[in-house]
Amino acid sequence: MILSRLSGVIVLAVTAAGAVNLASASPAAAADAWHRPQCGTVQGDGSVTFTRNDGAFLAPTTTPVSAVAYPRLVALTTPNTLVAISKRSIQRSVDAGCTWQRIAATELDLATYDLAAGPDGTAYAYGINDQPVYRVQGEQVSEADGPVPADGVAALAVDPTDARALRAVSKAGQIYDSGDGGATWAAVGSPAGPDQYVYKAAVDPVDRAHVIVGTMGNGSYVTFDGGHSWTRSSGVGATPQSNGFSVAFSPVDPRTVWLEGYDLSQTDNSARHIWRSTDGGRSFASVLDGAGPTLVNGTSLWPSPVDPDVLYFPYGTWFGGYGTDLYRYDASTGRLTSQHNSHDGIAGVAFNPADPRVMYLGLVEER
């Protein structure tokens, strides 16, 4: 049943089964069922497109993206199926991103929401504040029955074998588990530290006991035992005072962790950094700073699903009609490249499981 805050449900003639977070899936299994997008133009509201060449060319859309949109998206292992959220709608593609149909509209502003994918055609849309969690099951959207952690959700992950088994990390650094799709939650372990404020967290796609959080003023903390003990990461900033705004595990090698943040000991453009860990988050080393690519507080991080050395991240702004740079960094060579487009930003990225060179982009329009 669709809740009153959701409307405009469209029933799609498609069987949705076997969905799983791309980061948690076997790439070979996903690729067996998926194919590349077989179109030159994307039909939909214009908020999602794709590129085959790191953003050098974006597939045109039948409708220009309307303001204000901050789309996030995930690719499911259900063949050729993706789910996306934009400002006030949830949409779905079942043909590898060529056509998008709205399956629900909401009065809530989804600009601060993100997506987590799970098995059996399921995805969850969750907000970073004390906001409802929505469950997307095939073409149906419903609100989770129970309250989310009162201090907000910094990350949510779904068990790849059980769509009702969820792990959330709160804005206070506390891990919570649910075994009933979000109807009830139980705290696990202890918070990352006293009085922590967590900007963003990430759960290891292979081992959910392995969690990392980026905090205000204290860099990052990592746990390998589900929050029963936490270790403060070394190497994040020249002094202990630093902000960890964004964090992401490599889907292909969770020992590789990427962190974007601000070194509070610096005052120039180089204060913002992207740090990289190869020991699961115990220690980090700076690989990029704001003296090179333009970094902001909370730059999104999208690790490659096939190469632990490769990271994608954006910089975009409406100011002065600048547009967006989509960066690609290769830690093995130290090479940084970028492709420019005229949109105001990129809020989300998903990779095609059959061909990860195909990247789906959620386009930002602020004007």
Q: Which residue has the higher pLDDT, 162 or 237?
A: 162
| Residue 195, Cβ density class (10 Å: 0-12 exposed, 13-18 middle, ≥19 buried) | exposed
DSSP 35-84: -----SSBBSSSSEEEESSTTSSB--BSSPPPSSB--EEEE-SSTT-EEE
- Kindly state whether residues 129 and 161 are assigned to the same domain: no
Q: Does residue 17 sit in the same domain as residue 74? A: yes
276 lies in some domain: yes
Per-residue pLDDT of 83-141, as tens digits, reads 999 888 999 999 999 999 999 988 878 888 999 999 888 999 998 877 889 999 999 99
Residue 326 lies in a domain: no
Residue 26: per-residue pLDDT: 43
The reported pLDDT for the residue numbered 6 is 44
What is the chain's mean pLDDT, rounded? 89
CA gap 69, 292 in Å, rounded? 28
- Average pLDDT for 131-159: 87
**C-alpha to C-alpha distances, 357 to 22, 87, 305, 306, 307, nearest whole angstrom:** 14, 27, 10, 10, 12
pLDDT at 109: 80
Cα–Cα dist 8/297, whole Å: 35
**pLDDT above 50 for 45:** yes
| Same-domain pairing of 232 and 109 | no
Residue 332 domain flag:
no
> Token digits for 80?
């050729």
DSSP 8-class letter at 148: P
Domain end call among 269, 299, 329:
299
The answer on 83 and 67 residing in a single domain is: yes
**pLDDT top residue among 9 and 204:** 204
Given a contact cutoff of 8 angstroms between Cβ atoms, the answer to whether 135 and 144 are in contact is yes
Same domain? For 167 and 91 the reply is no
Average the pLDDT over each of 69-83, 198-212, 291-305 and give the range with the smallest value: 69-83
Q: Are residues 69 and 173 in the same domain?
A: no
The secondary structure element, H or E, covering residue 32 is helix 27-33
For residue 329, tell me if it sits in a domain. Answer: no
Model confidence at 16, in pLDDT bands (50, 70, 90)? very low
Domain carrying residue 227: 151-299
The mean pLDDT of 22-31, rounded to a whole number, is: 44
Q: Are residues 130 and 31 in the same domain?
A: yes
Residue 331 maps to a domain:
no
With respect to residue 307, please indicate whether it lies within any of the assigned structural domains: no
More confident residue, 63 or 12: 63
Of 163, 303, 124, 152, nearest to 213 (Cα)? 152
Top-confidence residue, 18 or 93: 93
Pair 4, 139 in one domain = yes
Write down the pLDDT at residue 49.
Answer: 97
The rounded distance, in Å, linking the Cα atoms of 224 and 97 is 36
Same domain, 199 and 252: yes
CATH code for the domain of 178: 2.130.10.10
> Which of 23-37, 75-89, 292-306, 328-342 has the lowest average pLDDT?
23-37
Which range (69-73, 186-190, 317-321, 340-344) has the least confidence?
69-73
216-232: per-residue pLDDT in tens? 999 999 999 999 999 99
Number of domains in the chain: 2
156 and 293 in one domain? yes
Summarised one tens digit per residue, pLDDT across range 261-275 is 999 999 888 999 999
- With a pLDDT cut of 70, the percent of the chain lying above it is 91
Residues 135 and 164 in one domain: no
- Taking the model in full, what pTM does it have? 0.91
| Confidence check: pLDDT of 250 > 90 | yes
Clarify whether residues 218 and 288 are in a common domain.
yes
Taking the C-alpha atoms of residue 42 and residue 230, their distance in angstroms, rounded to an integer, is 45
